[in-house]
Amino acid sequence: MSNYIEEIKLILSKARQKAYTAVNTAMVDAYWLIGKRIVEQEQHGEEKAVYGEAILKELSKALTFEFGKGFSYANLRNFRQFYLIYPENEICYTLCSNLTWSHNRLIMRIENRDARTYYLNEASAQGWSVRTLERNINTFYYQRLLSSDNKPGKLGKGQQLKQSPEDFIKDPFIFEFLNIQQSTAVNESEIEAALIENLQQFLLELGKGFTFAGRQFRIGTETEHFYIDLVFYNYLLKCFVLIDLKTCKLTHQHVGQMDMYRRMFDDLKKPEGDNPTIGIILCTEKSETVVKYSVINDNPRLFATKYMRYLPTEEELIAEVEREKVKLNLFNSDKEVD
């Protein structure tokens, strides 16, 4: 009898979800069409729109009287902006309609077109909540991804993003969800414990495809044993990802240690058919000298990246991202010369 009741509940739950999805898609499409009609009315056949508050205020009054809340002057301006951002209805129907209006309102305010496309795709594919999307936008999630040959959001129509380690590494990582004040002194074990306690947020910050495999993961030979801070598996990259936490500036000893962990893991733990293991050193400050002249320079599976325990201001984040871009360009230029 219990199975019978549960099956009925499941049927109703699925039906409600389908109904919600259908209604959401219809409303997003309707808002785009309303925006299109507003623009056409304002332009009166002219190439350049002549914006008039009177048109929107009159429309707002009529729609509110007929349909109730949701058609304020501000919302109608959003509908108009929605159409102006996505004038091709194909984008609206294939991407925007997969997300709620709350998602779309956040994304359409992003000035960078490539970033908008990235957030549209990722929010839909990864099922980001509105809160997660807002957090990722505010922390410049897209901009923090390290440059690669296949940059997110810059793919042509019909192309597939070739997954590579660079597509998943950010600089810096932001761990504001740990609620550890910037001035508070903590050790690596405390950071590690806080990340595990907030594992869901940590996985979202790491990116798509990650699953947790272990903490203080033991690996060794018959004579010696070592412990890796955090181990994950990424099913998109089809490989294990090792993370070593440091509460100091990157050193060549850190790099050597992670390189050894990665080699040992490949030799002792990597399943046949998997890709080589990735090693990531998370530190509070990077050393470009160490990065340039250590094995990181020659190993595409080894990374050093900065992490921040607090949410920086927008200005600080932009400055940090721009610094990393400049360093990366210089680094790549040096490699081309070599």
Amino acid letter, residue 268: L
Which of left, alpha, beta for 233 (phi over 0: left; psi -120 to 50: alpha)?
A: beta
Of the candidates 142, 172, 207, 150, the residue with the CA atom closest to the CA atom of residue 312: 172
Q: Supply the pLDDT for residue 330.
A: 57
Of the candidates 227, 168, 226, the residue with the CA atom closest to the CA atom of residue 192: 227
pTM of the model: 0.79
Q: Supply the pLDDT for residue 83.
A: 92
77's tokens: 């301006």
DSSP 98: G
Q: Supply the pLDDT for residue 157.
A: 39
Contact indicator for 93, 86 with CB cutoff of 8 Å: no
Contact indicator for 119, 300 with CB cutoff of 8 Å: no
Q: Considering the domain 190-334 in this protein, what is its CATH number?
A: 3.40.1350
Domain boundaries, the chain: 1-176, 190-334
Q: What is the pLDDT of residues 96-110, one digit of tens each?
A: 988 999 999 999 999
What percent of the chain shows pLDDT beyond 90? 50
**Banded pLDDT at 164 (limits 50, 70, 90):** confident
Alpha-carbon distance of 140 to 124, in angstroms, equals 18
**Banded pLDDT at 118 (limits 50, 70, 90):** very high
Which CA distances in Å does 256 have to 175, 230, 247, 259, 266?
25, 17, 17, 5, 15
Is 199 a residue whose pLDDT tops 80?
yes
Which CA distances in Å does 238 have to 23, 81, 278?
37, 41, 10
Alpha-carbon distance of 204 to 211, in angstroms, equals 10
Q: What is the pLDDT of residues 30-56, one digit of tens each?
A: 999 999 998 888 776 554 555 567 788
- How high does pLDDT run on average in the chain? 85
SS3 245: strand
Q: Supply the pLDDT for residue 1.
A: 63
Alpha-carbon distance of 324 to 322, in angstroms, equals 5
**Banded pLDDT at 183 (limits 50, 70, 90):** confident
Mean pLDDT to the nearest integer, 107-120? 93
DSSP 219: E
Mean pLDDT to the nearest integer, 140-166? 58
Q: Supply the pLDDT for residue 165.
A: 84
Mean pLDDT to the nearest integer, 242-257? 95
Q: Among 85-94, 98-107, 232-241, which is the least confidently predicted range?
A: 85-94
